[in-house]
Amino acid sequence: MNFQQLRIVRETVRQNFNLTEVANALHTSQSGVSKHIKDLEDEMGVELYVRKGKRLLGLTQPGEELAQIVERILRDTQNIKKLGEQFANSRKGNLTIATTHTQARYALPGVVTAFKREFPDVTLILQETSPSHIVEMLVEGAADIGIATEALQDVPELAAFPYYSWHHGVVVPAGHPLEAAKLLTLEAIADYPIITYHQGFTGRGRVDRAFAAKSLEPDIVMAALDADVIKAYVELGLGIGIIASMAFESNRDTRLRRLDASHLFEINVSRIAVRRGSYLRGYAYRFVELCSADLTEAAVKAEIEGDRD
């Protein structure tokens, strides 16, 4: 039994048992993958995969149990590497943060600035992507820390912590009739074309639920992944925007006005997540603490290690 065989077991699950994709992911040949699988099964004396001819369809029961062990072994192997790096040079290395555009653009600049001032030799990688992909990156070990409003909570493999709460706001061109409203209502908003976030991004589900609760069908004429795009098209007069309030900058968005909608939509909570059982280097804990002073290394570490197998 060797590490390549263990990597193949993990990758077959990740690649939905497509051996061509497994071979591509591991930079080897399909025949080599098949041989490693056969050798491992011969050594263990059990079949690990459900087959139809030469195709793999899934894992047998021993295969499922092996896959869980393999995940732990490979994760701890990576942890050993990080442990060595931490004690060899605690202030130099890489830190990958998987997050959404909204977080990277509006929530994290101050944190990143403080972090780089404290750790100038750490290469900080901000990977902007969807919440669902953030979860995948964390689970697969491709990111150290994930930050988003959606998807991170209730994932068994992740430890997620509240970061900050926020509300949606409505943005309109200067001089828009809604500026004169004493108290903004969903009914008034629904009278206009709306530009807001794509499904699954930045609290869009809470926006939809608010309208549904009032039996309103808003005319959402455009959906985008980030507030900058939404604001650009609101400026062009294509509709009014519903965005995260923090994404409005009065000194830059001079042709727009933000209207208070905190009474209309549910509160949103952005979260910071890390993978359970992972080894984080000291500067990763410091990044989390810079986000929230309550999230000390001791508090985060206790949660990460609390459910280790």
- What is the span of the domain harbouring residue 7? 3-83
Last residue of a domain, one of 83, 103, 118: 83
Q: Are residues 158 and 300 in the same domain?
A: yes
Question: What's the CATH number where 64 sits?
Answer: 1.10.10.10
- The per-residue pLDDT of the chain, averaged, comes to 92
pLDDT confidence of residue 306: 67
Q: Are residues 259 and 291 in the same domain?
A: no
Q: Are residues 274 and 152 in the same domain?
A: yes
Q: Does residue 284 surpass a pLDDT of 60? A: yes
Q: Does residue 152 surpass a pLDDT of 90? A: yes
More confident residue, 32 or 84: 32
Q: Are residues 273 and 158 in the same domain?
A: yes
Q: Are residues 148 and 194 in the same domain?
A: no
Q: Does residue 151 surpass a pLDDT of 50? A: yes
SS3 letters for the chain? CCHHHHHHHHHHHHCCCCHHHHHHHCCCCHHHHHHHHHHHHHHHCCCCEEEECCEEEEECHHHHHHHHHHHHHHHHHHHHHHHHHHHHCCCCEEEEEEECHHHHHHHCHHHHHHHHHHCCCEEEEEEECCHHHHHHHHHHCCCCEEEECCCCCCCCCEEEEEEEEECEEEEEECCCHHHHCCCCCHHHHCCCCEEEECCCCCCHHHHHHHHHHCCCCCCEEEEECCHHHHHHHHHCCCCEEEEEHHHCCCCCCCCEEEEECCCCCCCEEEEEEEECCCCCCHHHHHHHHHHCCCCCHHHHHHHHHHCCC
Q: Are residues 120 and 155 in the same domain?
A: yes
Question: What's the CATH number where 117 sits?
Answer: 3.40.190.10
Total number of domains in the chain: 3
Q: Are residues 201 and 259 in the same domain?
A: yes
Q: What is the pLDDT of residues 8-25, one digit of tens each?
A: 988 898 899 999 998 998
Last residue of a domain, one of 62, 83, 104: 83
Q: Are residues 154 and 275 in the same domain?
A: yes
Q: Does residue 191 surpass a pLDDT of 80? A: yes
Last residue of a domain, one of 57, 83, 109: 83
pLDDT band at 89 (very low <50, low <70, confident <90, very high): confident
Q: What is the pLDDT of residues 243-282, one digit of tens each?
A: 999 999 999 999 999 999 999 999 999 999 999 988 899 9
Q: Are residues 137 and 183 in the same domain?
A: no
